[in-house]
Amino acid sequence: MDTSNSARTFGFMGAGRIVEILLDSLGPAIGEGRGLIWNRSRPRAERLAERHGLLVQESPEDLARNSDRVLLAVKPKAVASVLTQAAPGMSPDTLLVSMAAGVSIARLRGFFATPPRIIRIMPNIALSVGLGMTAVCADEGVPPEEVEEILGIFRQAGRARLVEEEWLDTVTALSGSGPAFVFLFIESLADGAVLNGMSREAAYEFAAQTLQGAARIILESGMHPGELKDIVASPAGTTIAGIHVMERRAFRSIVMDAVDAAARRSREISA
C-alpha cells in the first residue's frame, strides 16, 4: 500500500464518542474521505462512515489489512479480542495508534508474532473545540517522522506533547479526567453566583469564560500560577478573602487527592 502523505489510509478500530470527536475535529488530517472504520455495532460505524466519507470494514482483520495507520479506539477490556482478530491482517509496517487507557505498549506488542509500529496516545475531550491536550508515547523503533506526524495531527486541534510511557497514567488523570474536574469547579463557581442572586445562565457564562481566560494567561505568559494569583489578590480584598476560605477547607489537597486517585485507578486498570 502506498504510504506517501497524500495516500495514507487511516483505519478507525472502534466508533465510540472519542472517534466521533476525532473525526469532527481532525477529519481531513486523519483520513476523512479516504479512511476506513470498523465497529462491533455496524450501524454506529455506518453512521460515522456516511458523515465522514469512510468505508465500513467487515472485521478488524479487514481493517488492519487495508490500513496504513490503525487508530485503536475500543474499551480496554475489548483490546484482547479485537487485536487477536486484527493480528493476521496487521503488517509490521503498519502504525498502530492506541487510545486504549491503561494498555501498555508491551501488552499491545504481545498480540502479534511480528508487531507493527506502536504509538500510544491520550487525547481529551477538548479536541472537540480545538483546545485538546494530547500525550503521545512511541515504542522503540518508530521512525521519528511518524512520531512527528501524529504530534502534528493532534496539534491541529490543540496541543500535543511527547511523554514517557511511565507518565501516561498521570496524564490520564490530569488531562484525560481533568476536564471533568474543571466542569465540577465551574459548576461550583456558578452555584456560588446563583446563591448571590445571579441567573444560572449568566453564572455559567461568567464562570466558564473566567476559567478559559485564566488558563490562556498561564499558557501564553509563561508566568507561575502563584505569581498570577498574587497579582489578583490585593491586600484585604475580595480575592484573598475567598482564597482564605479555600485554603482553610484544604482546596489544594482535595484537588491533589482527586488527581492522585485517578492516576492510581489508571495504574490499577493497567495491571
CA distance 77 to 100: 9
Read off the C-alpha cell for 164: 514517557
Same domain, 14 and 142: yes
CA distances from 75 to 7, 14, 196 (A): 29, 9, 43
Average pLDDT over residues 212-233: 96
> Which pLDDT tens digit goes with each residue over 75-111?
989 999 999 999 999 999 999 999 998 899 999 999 9
CATH of the domain at 26: 3.40.50.720
State the pTM of this model: 0.89
Are 182 and 148 in the same domain?
Answer: no
Confidence label for 2 from pLDDT (cuts 50, 70 and 90)? very low
Task: State how far the alpha carbon of 74 is from the alpha carbons of 16, 38, 110, 238, 263, in Å.
Answer: 8, 11, 17, 48, 20
Picking from 110, 141, 164, the residue at the C-terminal end of a domain is 164
Categorize the per-residue pLDDT at 267 as very low, low, confident or very high, splitting at 50, 70 and 90.
confident
Check pLDDT > 70 for residue 256: yes
Angle (CA) 151-157-160 rounded to 5° is 35
- Give the pLDDT mean for 147-161: 95
What per-residue confidence (pLDDT) applies to 27?
79
* Segment 8-58, tens digit of pLDDT: 899 999 999 989 999 998 877 775 567 999 999 999 999 999 999 999 999
Looking at the fold, whether 15 and 124 belong to one and the same domain comes out as: yes
Say which residue the cell 486498570 belongs to: 269
- The answer on 210 and 157 residing in a single domain is no
> Quick one: CA torsion of 136, 71, 74, 90, rounded to 10 degrees?
-120
Give the confidence band of 4 by pLDDT, cuts at 50, 70, 90.
very low
Strand partners, 120: 98, 137
Mean pLDDT score, 157-161: 96
Domain check: are 195 and 154 in the same one? no
